[in-house]
Structures are given as structure tokens and as C-alpha cells.
Amino acid sequence: LTVISLSDVEAAARRLDGVAHRTPIVTSRTLDRLTGATVAIKPENLQRAGAFKFRGAYATISSLSRAERTRGVAAYSSGNHAQAVALAASLLGSHAVILMPADTPPVKVEATRGYGAEVVFYDRYTEDREALGLALADERGLMLVPPYDDLRVMAGQGTVALELLADVPELDVLVAPVGGGGLIAGCATVVRALRPGARIVGVEPEAGDDTRRSLAAGGRISIEVPRTIADGLQATTPGRLTFEVNATLVDEIVTVTDAQLVDAMRFAFERLKLVLEPSGAASLAAVLSGAFAAPGRRIGVVISGGNVGAARFAELINR
Amino acid sequence: LTVISLSDVEAAARRLDGVAHRTPIVTSRTLDRLTGATVAIKPENLQRAGAFKFRGAYATISSLSRAERTRGVAAYSSGNHAQAVALAASLLGSHAVILMPADTPPVKVEATRGYGAEVVFYDRYTEDREALGLALADERGLMLVPPYDDLRVMAGQGTVALELLADVPELDVLVAPVGGGGLIAGCATVVRALRPGARIVGVEPEAGDDTRRSLAAGGRISIEVPRTIADGLQATTPGRLTFEVNATLVDEIVTVTDAQLVDAMRFAFERLKLVLEPSGAASLAAVLSGAFAAPGRRIGVVISGGNVGAARFAELINR
């Protein structure tokens, strides 16, 4: 397997050193009691811009040449990738143009502009964001920063596992959410290299199990846009590169319902004192609900993000 | 000054080693930009049982003789001290009896019982909890664990500052909430010993400024039970021992309004992804509101706790 290697992730870690937050490990005896395991939470909701996405975006943009950075970067995203690219570009003296659906919540548009990015809207019901992104990049000479299907992005996301294994070297299982598959591909590369016997478990929303089905089918399949509150995990098909990695390295995909995501968000709020967005709660939901269980084992649970407004949080918890 | 010394806190730290969580340092560029300072947050909402109180309770109960521990411990509290004593007693093989007001929210009673404690109710409008606590302790041979006015408790709370200074040795200012004064007394002892030039700033709710007034008066004064959402900071008079320390070591007390506490809770939720209870947000509210400002300085902000239910949080944020 030669898509990315441990040394690519280590190189990304050097780029991120002193720039990305080195997120801590959070533990909870209550969680250990409920799961029968020893759980180490890696809370990337505490990462800059509120999600692991900053790692991949910064690792990618910092690897561009000075001339490329000066011309600027582009990305299409209504979510955490938008803010990650905007922040990373601003820190690196580059200019970011972000394609966002016209119906993106204003708070997300403002957050992205707050990091200095230019926002360009498109109609997500009639226009193809990938084609638009490529056209925009081409027309204005911008480098497109893909949300997951990119070697530098995957390597950046893998630094999550590098830190987790430095803090919990005896890890038995890694549990991580799967949207486009970049986070788990980078992390699985690290875990397989440093802790070959560990189990690698992905988590998808029940309605959005494109990677689970693709693995079962032995090739990438596409699904309808899934109806789930986990807006960061609404991919309809795995990435080409990420699937190549994940088909080889991921041992198992489990799924969680929206109700289980909300239960995990409430548990994180009340017991861990951490704010998780629905997608960010997927791994925790898997171990809390029993969708995945490994009694007696050391489980690393990757929390991917915490970008949810207080009002939206209250609405989800109360419904 | 000989109330407690750095070596008392260091001894408490040895007792807590491997038992209490060593909470991380959380930083936020947004917070630095808003305050003009370099802020290091010490998030004791991530401590066991959700508040710094576990440190003092465990340090105290672990210092009892085997015979004393076997007879059991008592405490009076409707808040974080109750759960801290219950958890610490259970970990140390002791039995805890907690006096709680009859109108304590059931969720707090259940949390305390969940740690194995026996709960005894009293009427807070007609009965004196201190007298009841002493009578109960006397009658059943229990050791009373005071919420703050105790040398071992203060030393335990001081371990917060020991960890903070280990991570941020060049600290210029420590900001901590003041209820009975145990947390800031322990922390001030450490900061004055290890970083003598640093400024020590306490924060009280505007309606509950008994320590500020006592310092101004040059002696302990009493106020009416303050009306504030900061239920952990509703002390009506400073502790005798804590005031002796704080009168010497605390440089300044600032106050914050309930609205500023809610703003800080919302900021922590949306930007830091941390859940703070109203009292726990006091220090953050002080630096965010400008009640305390120290441009260009390194400020340690102690978050004292995060025990607030999701429903109560939503109610506070939406009102």
C-alpha cells in the first residue's frame, strides 16, 4: 500500500507543530464503567476552528510554493472544511475563496468571512460544486484544497492518531467517524504502522453508510444524500484515494442513529463538559450505544468537531 | 503568613497524583484577540465530578487515619462539594453522609447517591446547616469535610495553580472565582511562592461581593444571600482561614453580572467547546467583559466547574 505512509503524516506533524493545538486526552470513569473498556477521548472539537479539519487544511496550504500561496486557494464546503481553509490561508498569508451553498446558515458564512475568506455562493440544488470549484480555481489561478480526497489532507488528519498514540501507546482500538474518509484514512495509516495489532473501526450515520456498503461491495458505491443530523458525515460516496486506504486498513464500520448521536451529545455535555456537533459525536455514540463494544480494551475515540450553535444544540437536545 | 504553605500544596499534589485529572491548558486566539492578552484557561470543569472541588475533598479524606476513614465522613452542600466528597469517600473506601437542602434538584441528589453517598435532607429556611452538620458528625462519629475553611481543603485546591504554573511558568496574572475563598487561597499561596510578582485577581458575582467588601472593610463582613445564577458563589461571608490568606495575598477583586456570566457561558460553548456552569464562568466573564483587563500579559483563567444540565443551560442561554 503506497497511498500515504507514516512518514507523510510525520512530515505533516512538523508543519503543524506550534500552529495546530495539540489536543489533550480526556478520560471519564463513568464512560469506562458504561462501556466496560478504558476509553481515551481525543477531543478535536478543541482544535483550532473547532474541528480536526484545520490539520489537513494547514498541512496542505503550508506545503504550497510561495507563488501558489500568493495566488490563493479555493475550497467548497458549507461546514468545518470552509473555516479550516479560511483560517489556514489567513495564517499563511494566502487568500481563500470558499464556495458555499446559497442557503448556508449566516453564522457559518460570517465565521468563514471572519477568518478573512471571500465567500462565493452557488445553488446546491442546480449546480455541481466540484465543477464550480474547478472552474473557479482554473479561472482565478487558485489551488483547490479538497476536503478529503488528497494525499496532503489525509496526512494532516493522520496527525490526530500520531498524538493519540504518543499519549496512549498501548491502544487496542481506534474509533473514528467516516464522512469522505480522510480522517480515518490518515489515522489508520498511523495506527497500522505503529500499533499493527490494533483494530480500526469507522462510524457512519445509519442513513449515510456509503463506506460500509462500499467495503461490503468491494468497490465504491453511491447513495442518495443521507437524511441525518450529522451534516459533516453526509458524503454520498467514499473518496477514491481515501477508499483505497480504508479498504485495506479499516477492520469494521458500525453505524449509529440520529437519536444515538443526540444521546452522545447530551452525555458529552453533562458528563464530559464538552460540546460536540452531531457528526463529532459519532464515535462516542458508537461506544455508548454498544454499536461497537470491546470490553477490557483500550479504546481511542476520536471526536471530530464541536461546531454547533447554542440554540441549535438546545433544539436537538429538547426534541 | 503561616496558614498554609507551598509545601502543603505540594503534599496535596502527591496525594492527588494519578487520582485527580491533570486538566489541560486550553487556549483560544479569539479570546486572545478579544482581551488583548495571552490567556491560558485551566478548565476544572474537566476535573473528576465536574469541578475543582474533588481536589480538596480527596486531599482531605486521604489524609485521615484508617480508623477515621472507616467511621466515615460528612459534608453539607447542595452543589459540587457534595459530589466531590461522595466520590472521594467512595474511592478511599469510606462512607459519606451528605446534608442537602430538601429542595435540592433531584438530579444533584441522584448524582451524589450515584457516587455511593447517603443523603440526609434539611430545611434550609428553618435549619442551620453548619449546626446540623456538626451534630450529625458528632452523633455518628463522622469527620466533617468543610467546603473551604480548612487547611487541607485549601491545600488541595491549590494544586490547580501548581499545574497551571508548571504549564505556564511565565504567568503574569491569575484570575480565579471567589465563593468561600478556598480555591483562590490555595492558588494564591502557590502563585505568591513560585511567581512572586504575579497579580492575583478574584472574581465575585456583583450581587455576592462579600469578599470584596470584607477586604475593603479590613475584616470579614456578612451580606444577605445574594441573588445570582452563580449558585456556587453565594457565600454570605468569607471563611475565617481563607480570608486570612486572601487578605494578604489577593491583589484585587472584580465583580461580574449574571448577564456577563451567561455571555461567558455562551462564548465557552460556541468558541471553546466547553460547558461551564454559571459559577464556573466567573473568571472568563471577568476577562471577556473587561471587568479585568491586562493587555499584553499572560493571564491564567481558572474555570471552576461545569455542572449544569443541558435543559438548564438552554434556559439560561435563551432568556
In this predicted complex, what is the ipTM? Answer: 0.90
* Euclidean distance between CA atoms B141 and B116, whole angstroms: 19
Contact A272 B317 (CB under 8 A): no
Residues of chain A neighbouring B317 (CB-CB closer than 8 A): 310-311, 314
Number of neighbouring beta carbons within 10 Å of residue A318: 10
| Catalytic annotation, residues of B | 53, 78, 204, 208, 210, 304
pLDDT value, residue A1: 54
Taking the CA atoms of residue A10, residue A180, residue A254 and residue A269 in that order, the dihedral angle to the nearest 10 degrees is 80
Q: How much is the CA Rg of chain B, to the nearest whole Å?
A: 18
Tell me the three state secondary structure of residue A3.
Answer: coil
Residues of A in contact with B314 (CB under 8 A): 310, 313-314, 317-318
What is the radius of gyration, based on Cα positions, of chain A? 18
Contact assignment for B313 to A269 by CB distance below 8 Å: yes
Q: Is A110 a catalytic residue?
A: no
Of A273, A309, A318, the CB nearest to B270: A309
A64 touches chain B (CB under 8 A): no
Nearest to A275 among B26, B48, B275 (CB): B275
| Residue of B21, B50, B273 lying closest to A275 (CB–CB) | B273
Cell of A211: 463506506
DSSP code per residue over B35-76: HTSEEEEEEGGGSGGGBTHHHHHHHHHTTS-HHHHHH-EEEE
Q: Does the beta-carbon distance from A274 to B272 stay under 8 Å?
A: no
Residue B152 and residue B62 in contact, taking contact as beta carbons nearer than 8 Å: no
Q: Which has the closest alpha carbon to B27: B298, B317, B278?
A: B298
pLDDT exceeds cutoff 90 at B205? yes
User: What does pLDDT average to over chain B?
Assistant: 95
- Decide if pLDDT at B125 tops 90: no
Report in angstroms the alpha-carbon separations of B163 from A28, A134, B43, B80: 20, 50, 11, 21
Find the CB nearest B314 among A26, A29, A318.
A318
- For residue A19, what is the nearest residue in chain B, using CA coordinates? B29
DSSP state string for B269-317: IIII-B---TGGGHHHHHHHHTSS--TTSEEEEEE-B----HHHHHHHH
Strands lying side by side in the sheet with B199-205: B38-43, B298-303, B173-177, B199-205, B252-256
HSE of A144, CA atoms in CB hemisphere, 13 A: 19
Q: Is A278 on the interface with B (CB under 8 A)?
A: no
- Give the residue carrying C-alpha cell 496527525: A159
* Residues of B with Cβ-Cβ distance to A310 under 8 angstroms: 266, 269-270, 313-314, 317
* A72 carries an active-site annotation: no
| pTM of the model as a whole | 0.93
Q: Judge whether B306 and B277 are in contact, CB under 8 Å.
A: yes
> Which of A45, A311, A318 lies closest to B273 in CB terms?
A45
| pLDDT of B71 higher than 90 | yes
- The low-confidence residues of chain A, meaning pLDDT below 70, are 1-2
Q: Do B306 and A45 touch (CB under 8 A)?
A: no
Q: A53 at the B interface (CB within 8 A)?
A: no
CB contact under 8 A, A314 and B309: no
**Residues constituting chain A:** 319
Answer whether residue B2 shows pLDDT above 80.
no
User: Which residue in the list A50, A62, A72, A78 is annotated as catalytic?
Assistant: A78
Q: Give B43's contacts in chain A (Cβ within 8 Å).
A: 273
Report which of B172, B237, B171, B165 is spatially closest to residue B204, judged by C-alpha positions: B237
Q: Which of B52, B191, B70, B60 is nearest to B142 (CA)?
A: B70
Give A151's contacts (C-beta < 8 A, 6+ positions apart): A3, A4, A8, A241
Set of cell numbers at residue B164? 497551571
Phi, psi of A279 (to 5 degrees): -60, -40
Judge whether A141 and A151 are in contact, CB under 8 Å: no
Cβ contact (<8 Å) for A274 and B270? Answer: no
Joined together, the cell numbers standing for residue A270 give 453533562
Interface check A49 vs B, CB under 8 A: no
Residues of chain B in contact with residue A26, where contact means CB-CB under 8 angstroms, are 46
Helices A151-167 and A182-194 cross at an angle (nearest 10°) of 50
Q: Does the distance separating the beta carbons of A266 and B310 come in below 8 Å?
A: yes
B102 touches chain A (CB under 8 A): no
Cβ–Cβ under 8 Å, residues B161 and B190: yes
Relative orientation angle of helices B310-318 and B258-267, to the nearest 10 degrees:
120
Q: Once rounded to an integer, what is the mean pLDDT over residues B27-33?
A: 94
Classify B187 as helix, strand or coil: helix
* Residues A129/A96, Cβ–Cβ less than 8 Å: no
Which whole number is the average pLDDT over B87-107? 92
pLDDT of residue B1: 54
Measure Cα distances from A27 to A24, A288, B20 in Å. 10, 14, 11
Pair A182, A148: CB distance under 8 Å: yes
Give yes or no for B279 touching A (CB within 8 A): no
List of chain B residues whose C-beta atoms are within 8 Å of the C-beta of residue A271 = 50
Nearest by CB to B310, from A21, A50, A270: name it.
A270
pLDDT tens digits, residue range A277-316? 999 999 999 999 999 999 999 999 999 999 999 989 999 9
Q: How far apart are CA A9 and CA A117, in angstroms?
A: 27
Write the single-letter amino acid at B9: V
pLDDT at A43: 98
Å between B116 CA and nearest CA of chain A: 14
**The three grid cell numbers given for residue A137, joined into one nine-digit string:** 480555481
Cβ distance B204 to B178 under 8 Å?
yes
Residues in chain B: 319
B167-190 confidence digits (pLDDT tens): 999 999 999 999 999 999 999 999
Cα(A81)–Cα(B140) distance, integer angstroms: 60
Contact A48 B26 (CB under 8 A): no
Q: What angle do CA A81, A311, A178 make, to 5 degrees?
A: 35
Q: Exposure of B116 by Cβ count < 10 A (0-12 exposed, 13-18 middle, 19+ buried)?
A: middle
A252 is catalytic: no
Of all residues in chain A, the one with the smallest CA distance to B107 is: A270
Longest Cα–Cα distance in chain A:
56
Cα distance between residue B122 and residue B125, in whole Å = 9
Residue A283 annotated in active site? no
Whether residue B164 contacts residue B302, with contact meaning beta carbons closer than 8 Å, is answered with yes
d(CA A33, CA A294): 12
Surface of A (73-92) touching B: CB under 8 A: none
Cross-chain residue pair B275–A269, CB shorter than 8 Å: yes
Catalytic residue among A149, A163, A204, A258: A204
Buried b (16+ CB within 10 A) or exposed e, A201-220: bbbbbbbbbbbbbbbeeeeb
Q: How many CB atoms lie within 10 A of CB A249?
A: 18
Cα A152 from Cα A73, distance rounded (Å) = 14
